[in-house]
Amino acid sequence: MTATPHETAKASRTAGIPFLLKTAFINAVIALVLFSLMIGIRTEAGSDGQLTYWTRFGDLASIVAAVFGGSIVIELLRQWIGPTGAEKLVPPAVQSGMSFIGRYLAPALLVFTLLVPVIFYNQRYILDLAILVLTYVMLGWGLNVVVGLAGLLDLGYVAFYAVGAYSYALLATNFGWSFWVCLPLAGILAAFWGVLLGFPVLRLRGDYLAIVTLAFGEIIRLVIINWQDLTGGPNGVSGIPRPTFFGIPLDNSDDGLAAKLRIEYSPTHRIVFLFYLILALALLTNWVTIRLRRLPIGRAWEALREDEVACRALGINTTTTKLTAFATGAMFGGFAGAFFATRQGFISPESFTFQESALVLAIVVLGGMGSQLGVALAALAMIGGFELFRSLETYRMLVFGMAMVLIMIWRPRGLIGHRAPTVYLTKAQAISSDLVKEGHG
Amino acid sequence: MDYFAQQLINGLVLGSIYGLIAIGYTMVYGIVGMINFAHGDIFMIGGFIALITFLILISLGLTAIPVILLVVLLVSMAITALYGWTIERIAYRPLRHSFRLAPMLSAIGMSFVLTNYSQVAQGARVKPIPPLITGGYTLHESVDGFVIRLSNVQILVVVTTIVLLGIFTWLVSRTRLGRDMRACEQDQTMAALLGVDVDRTISMTFVIGAALAAVAGLMYLLYYGLVDFFMGFVAGIKAFTAAVLGGIGSLPGAMLGGLAIGLIETFWSAYFSVEYKDVAAFSILIVVLIFMPTGLLGRPEVEKV
């Protein structure tokens, strides 16, 4: 088992069934040792605090059998598909078909999204899910500025989401300010925190940066939990006002929007309004990002991602470049947070754990780091996938973790793994991202 | 003064545990250049395996505490080491030549897998054990009745850490494996050309790191008397902080950083507030990285173009 995967594949093509059985047997033995105590024995604290245990050898046996069978299947698949890593030739017809789909996929998706409340007007569940997906699309696009464009790995993005959510919640509940006043404020406050985090991390390289941002996210969460006078601690903030249609409430009252328009009131109006609100916010994020990419600052971000040393040599001020990336990304996170607070009506620190950061980061990476369309599709796939596993509450994060590992092994570059350069000489040519070296951000 | 001395003892014991975990981070970072995000969860798995082995041994009727401790130590080290080995094979080795962020993200995924695996396998509730090692010594008793105590568990934790560190230092500096590890740390291609099995050396690094984390898990279990499925996350970040504080890649640095973090956390809880002790540890990480990006004993990194 010390052979490299390459050698294993080579040997398996010549060795056949005995090798297959041997590999599967070894894997099964490893699985038996790994799971013997953790699965085979179940411990639980009894009512008197005394720890008891019982055995689950049936479960253990079935897992070991599954590993045995699974490794035979994987080995067969590996032989059948052939060595991985070889460049697969795509026929030109398929390639042009793909590029055709690629060109019209984004507009088609946008039109479909605009029509979602019309098509699914009576299906509250789908509308709620769509709002959730759009929230993550927006978060993904916001984080994409930091990770995808500027190449700075941020593991604490949820901190800015939390700052935005708490800004709106506290301003609205304490001072009664309206959503439309608080929304820009939430964005500005989050951007301020982004700059505050940005300052210390300017000198750090990729991995260190990741850990510092993670620590920052945890600090924000711990402060929210412990500063009970301000934030309500673990109990959160409740009774956050619902958004109004620029001052006109969306409720059943006499001066509500429904009464003013002389139509019959329905609770769905508010959901549809929230849907278009988050869609507008997400599209704003997208539009700003696309425009910024064409400005010197956006080009500086991408240059920074590719090579920081070269950037400095060319006279780009890396300090301001990094700070603007952090601030821009954080601002969109803040907007999304304010939206989250007004939609839920209740927020607590539990919504802002590291898992959220990891989920948004997974969306950006799965989307191909820098591709706007890819991020949107990845958010749809991730949140949709989460919904499919909703019934398996405890297994959900297990599956999510496995999916993250498998995606990294299978397609480390994400779904849409090429980048169209923003600056080109004669013809824009998409570069496979395998050729793009990551910077030292 | 007595209060201070007591906190000093507590901090050193906690620091030893962090130091043992931090060695795993620093070794892997030194050789592979990645943050093994799942290492904190390996520590948690080690604690769980120790707990289950304890239960089995006690229900088998064993009463000799030294025998129980030795068996538990060996079993949890062996099984946890196998976890480390398997994780490296499944999640990190295929990504060794992939782009920079891939192993890090894969490690985050693996951390989720391990956390939720033990939640699914062993339940979400905290698992307490009755104290196995009791007793201790009273070092000093002041006039107002404050007692400085040094419990036997604390002695055990510190002694085990020192012994393991001795073995480990010998392993790295005197054996063939240690030489291979240092060679891989400097230049993997050159090491491979000179006949070092790089894959095997990296695997062994993960195995040793996981085994030390298992010891830390056992010590945590003995010291605090409980394990739960979520303890790996915070302990992992703090141990990583320790590794960075000591200078990542440096083994004595990891231990030193561990002790520093343990002391800071204990004193912060003792003199300021318990609620903000994690905030203090994380803030230290940020401050250290601003002013001393290479840590206490780290080598300054040379940027080559």
In a mutagenesis test of the B interface, which of A408, A410, A437 is the best target, namely the one with the most B β-carbons within 10 Å? A408
Instruction: Calculate how close chain B gets to A80, using CA atoms only, in Å.
Output: 19
Are B35 and A210 in contact (CB < 8 Å)? yes
Q: Which of B104, B117, B125 minimises the CB distance to A44?
A: B125
A185 and A193 Cβ atoms separated by less than 8 Å: no
Closest chain A residue by Cα to residue B112: A401
Instruction: Calculate how close chain A gets to B111, using CA atoms only, in Å.
Output: 7
Closest chain B residue by Cα to residue A56: B121
| Residue A12's pLDDT band (cuts 50, 70, 90) | very low
Residue A440 has pLDDT above 50, yes or no: no
| Residue A418's pLDDT band (cuts 50, 70, 90) | low
What is the CA A42 to chain-centroid distance, rounded? 34
Are A409 and B112 in contact (CB < 8 Å)? no
B214 and B49 Cβ atoms separated by less than 8 Å: yes
Provide the number of CB pairs (under 8 Å) joining chain A to chain B.
Answer: 187
Contacting residues of B for A78, CB less than 8 Å apart: none
Q: Which of B34, B79, B93 minimises the CB distance to A37?
A: B79
Structure tokens at A102: 């690629």
B147-151 and B136-141 strand pairing:
antiparallel
The stretch A252-263 carries a mean pLDDT of: 73
Residue A229 has pLDDT above 50, yes or no: yes
Higher-scoring residue by pLDDT: A243, A95 = A243
Q: How far apart are CA B256 and CA A99, in angstroms?
A: 56
Q: How far apart are CA A171 and CA A242, in angstroms?
A: 13
Per-residue pLDDT of B246-258, as tens digits, reads 888 888 889 999 9
Q: How far apart are CA B122 and CA B155, in angstroms?
A: 30
Closest chain A residue by Cα to residue B111: A401
Q: Which of B91, B286, B303 minimises the CB distance to A405?
A: B91
pLDDT attached to residue A231: 83
Element at A346 (helix H, strand E):
strand A346-347
Are A30 and B283 in contact (CB < 8 Å)? no
Residue A207 has pLDDT above 50, yes or no: yes
A237-238 and A346-347 strand pairing:
antiparallel
In a mutagenesis test of the A interface, which of B105, B272, B304 is the best target, namely the one with the most A β-carbons within 10 Å? B105
Closest chain B residue by Cα to residue A437: B99
pLDDT attached to residue B290: 77
Q: How far apart are CA A305 and CA A319, in angstroms?
A: 13
Q: How far apart are CA A210 and CA B41, in angstroms?
A: 18
A54 phi and psi angles, rounded to 5 deg: -140, 165
The stretch A164-183 carries a mean pLDDT of: 89
Are A358 and B108 in contact (CB < 8 Å)? yes
pLDDT < 70 positions in chain B: 300-305
The stretch A77-98 carries a mean pLDDT of: 64
Higher-scoring residue by pLDDT: A98, A73 = A73
Q: Which of B94, B115, B241 minimises the CB distance to A409?
A: B94
Residue A2 has pLDDT above 50, yes or no: no
Contacting residues of B for A411, CB less than 8 Å apart: none
pLDDT attached to residue B132: 79
**Max Cα–Cα distance, chain B, nearest Å:** 68
What interface predicted TM-score (ipTM) does this complex get? 0.85
Give SS3 for B229. coil
Query: On the CB side of B10, how many CA atoms lie within 13 Å of its CA?
Result: 16
A358 phi and psi angles, rounded to 5 deg: -65, -40
Structure tokens at B124: 């979400």
Query: Per mean pLDDT, which range of A40-44, A45-49, A352-356 is the poorest?
Result: A45-49
Structure tokens at B63: 């009463």
Q: How far apart are CA A67 and CA B15, in angstroms?
A: 39
Are A204 and B289 in contact (CB < 8 Å)? yes
| Residue A439's pLDDT band (cuts 50, 70, 90) | very low
What is the CA B151 to chain-centroid distance, rounded? 22
Structure tokens at A260: 């003013």
Residue A285 has pLDDT above 90, yes or no: yes
Per-residue pLDDT of B19-47, as tens digits, reads 999 998 888 888 888 888 899 999 999 99
Are B279 and A219 in contact (CB < 8 Å)? yes
Element at A404 (helix H, strand E):
helix A393-410
Closest chain A residue by Cα to residue B284: A215
Higher-scoring residue by pLDDT: B180, A369 = B180
pLDDT attached to residue B17: 93
Query: Per mean pLDDT, which range of A26-30, A404-408, B13-17 is the poorest?
Result: A404-408
Instruction: Calculate how close chain A gets to B146, using CA atoms only, in Å.
Output: 30
pLDDT attached to residue A206: 67
Burial of A48 (0-12, 13-18, 19+ CB in 10 A): exposed
Are B56 and A394 in contact (CB < 8 Å)? no
| Residue A198's pLDDT band (cuts 50, 70, 90) | confident
Query: Per mean pLDDT, which range of A201-210, A371-380, B230-239 is the poorest?
Result: A201-210
Contacting residues of A for B114, CB less than 8 Å apart: 401
Q: How far apart are CA B292 and CA B235, in angstroms?
A: 22
Instruction: Calculate how close chain B gets to A256, using CA atoms only, in Å.
Output: 45
Contacting residues of B for A45, CB less than 8 Å apart: 125-128
Higher-scoring residue by pLDDT: A44, A99 = A44
Q: How far apart are CA A79 and CA B40, in angstroms?
A: 36
pLDDT attached to residue A436: 47
Query: Per mean pLDDT, which range of A231-240, A280-289, B4-13 is the poorest?
Result: A231-240
Residue A431 has pLDDT above 60, yes or no: no
Q: Is the pTM of this model over 0.80?
A: yes
Closest chain B residue by Cα to residue A148: B101
Give SS3 for A3. coil
Per-residue pLDDT of A127-173, as tens digits, reads 889 999 999 999 999 999 998 888 888 888 999 999 999 999 999 88
Higher-scoring residue by pLDDT: B273, A182 = A182
Are B35 and A36 in contact (CB < 8 Å)? no
